[in-house]
Each structure stands twice: as C-alpha cells, then as structure tokens.
Amino acid sequence: MKKIIIFSLMLISAFTVDAQRKRTRTATSQGNVVVRFGMGLNSSKVDPDLDELYKSTSFNFSPSVGYMVIDNLELGVDFMVDYMTYEDFTKQSPVNKVTGDHTDVGFGVYAQKYFPLNNWFSLTTSANLGMKTGTYNRNVIVGAVNTVDPTGTGTRNGVGGSINFGMGFTPYNAFGLFANIASLGVQTMKEDDNNSNDTVNSTDAGFNVWRQSSVSFVWFFGRGLWKK
C-alpha cells in the first residue's frame, strides 16, 4: 500500500512539473517581441434606386512592433498607409459625378490585451491613438468634360483613436492570425486646398461590427518560442 501511494505521488509530481514546463513560455508571455503585418480591403456602394450612386474602395497596410510588458499585455508603435478612391454620381445619364482619391500615411501607439481561451484561440481588446498626413485629388465630370475642381487638390492632416475588439488564432507557438470584430473610434481631419485659402474640417465617430474588415499576420519572438 505504501509503495502504491509513493508511486501515485511520483506520477502526480511528474505530470505537474510537465504541465508547468509547458506553461512557462507562451506567445504572449512577458518579454516577447511582437511583429505584426496588418492589412484591409474594403468597398462600399450606396444606390438609392434613383439617379444617384456612391462607390468607394479603400486599402490599408499597417505594420507594427510591440513588446509584452507583462503576460498578455502588449505595448507598441504602429505605422499606416491608407489609399481610398471614390465616385459620387449626382446623375448617371447624362454623367454628372465627382471622382477623387486620397493617400495617407500615419504613425501611432497602441496597447493590446489578450484573453487566452485555450492553446489556439484568444480574445483581444486594444486601444490606439495616432496621427496621419496625406494628399487628395478631386475632379468634377459632366458628360465627357472633366472639370478641375478649384479645391480639387490639397493636403490632409488629422488625428484619431479607437477601441477595438477581436479574436486570434495561433496555429503555431510563434505565429498567429488576428482579426477585429468590432471597433469604436473617432477621427478629425483638416483639408487645405492648394489653390485657395479654403479649409475643410471634419469629424467622424462611430461603432462598427465587421464594417471595416482587416486581418493581421503576427510573429512572436522570445526565448524558446521557435524551438520544436
């Protein structure tokens, strides 16, 4: 009986040590470096069944570098390149529309909290704050005539921030796929045209669920993460 008890205690001790060893270092452990490449492609179309029509397409690329300051909490800096083009029809026949595009680059800081569900999936929440600058072009087209808008070219500057909620999938110890599910954000922009002293200020705020789709490819670097 005594031997059975001793043997059972040895087994429990071995399993406990093995479990602790496996949990010692994970992708979101303190001290790891996080490299992320995020991107998104979005399009929208508003057609009220009349002669009016609005279409837009946008693409963004947003790499970032972060550091796990404590387990499951990441702080970092991110960069952004955003391009958008649109067509705004007042009439489709004969054609009367405004076309335009803008390109922005930005820089910001962020914090992201991980809530692991198991070895593969986790929920995330993040907050970010940043600024961006860029240029825009706008043209008025009536029939076959392309008219240059007097305020059709200029510069853009703005600041914004958001709180995001998402989830991640980590199929390998040091590689993961993450996506935002919902976000709450606000942004202010100022446009200064190149041909006059006109300035346009705008503020956008909103809550979106799967409205702006994006996915991030994430690599975690830390002691022992890339070992088999």
CATH number at residue 125: 2.40.160.20
What mean pLDDT comes out for the span 124-140? Answer: 92
Residue 126 binned pLDDT confidence (cut-offs 50, 70, 90): very high
| Closest alpha carbon to 126 in 139, 110, 140, 146 | 110
Tokens of 15: 């399993």
The residues, ordered by sequence, that sit 6+ positions from 7 with a Cβ below 8 Å of its Cβ are: none
Q: Is residue 136 part of a domain?
A: yes
Q: What are phi and psi of 200, to 5 degrees?
A: -115, 125
**Residue 76, Cβ neighbours under 10 Å: how many?**
21
| Closest alpha carbon to 180 in 212, 207, 217 | 212
Domain, as residue range, for 64: 31-221
Q: Is residue 59 part of a domain?
A: yes
DSSP, collapsed to helix, strand or coil, labels residue 116 as strand
Residue 130 binned pLDDT confidence (cut-offs 50, 70, 90): very high
**Span 31-51, pLDDT tens digits:** 999 999 988 888 888 877 666
Residue 145, pLDDT above cutoff 80: no
Q: Is residue 190 part of a domain?
A: yes
Task: Give the model's pLDDT for residue 227.
Answer: 64
d(CA 42, CA 56): 8
> Which residue did the predictor score with more confidence, 150 or 162?
162
| Closest alpha carbon to 160 in 191, 126, 133, 128 | 128
Query: Between the CA atoms of 162, 166, 168 and 174, what dihedral angle is there, to the nearest 10 degrees?
Result: 20
Task: Give the model's pLDDT for residue 39.
Answer: 84
Q: Is residue 158 part of a domain?
A: yes
d(CA 176, CA 206): 28
Q: Is residue 2 part of a domain?
A: no
Task: Give the model's pLDDT for residue 17.
Answer: 42
Task: Give the model's pLDDT for residue 10.
Answer: 52
Question: How far apart, in Å, do the first and last CA atoms of the chain sit?
Answer: 40
Q: Which of the residue ranges 57-71, 171-185, 197-211 would you say has the lowest mean pLDDT?
A: 197-211
Residue 152 binned pLDDT confidence (cut-offs 50, 70, 90): confident
Q: Is residue 205 part of a domain?
A: yes
Q: Which residues of 140-173 are buried (b: 16+ CB within 10 A; e: fewer)?
A: beeeeeeeeeebbbbebebebbbebebebebeeb
Task: Give the model's pLDDT for residue 146.
Answer: 62
The total domain count for the chain is 1
Q: Is residue 64 part of a domain?
A: yes
The tally of CA atoms less than 13 A away on the side-chain side of residue 74 is 28
What mean pLDDT comes out for the span 108-134? Answer: 94
Q: Is residue 178 part of a domain?
A: yes
> Which residue did the predictor score with more confidence, 51 or 116?
116
| Closest alpha carbon to 144 in 93, 102, 100 | 93
Task: Give the model's pLDDT for residue 112.
Answer: 96
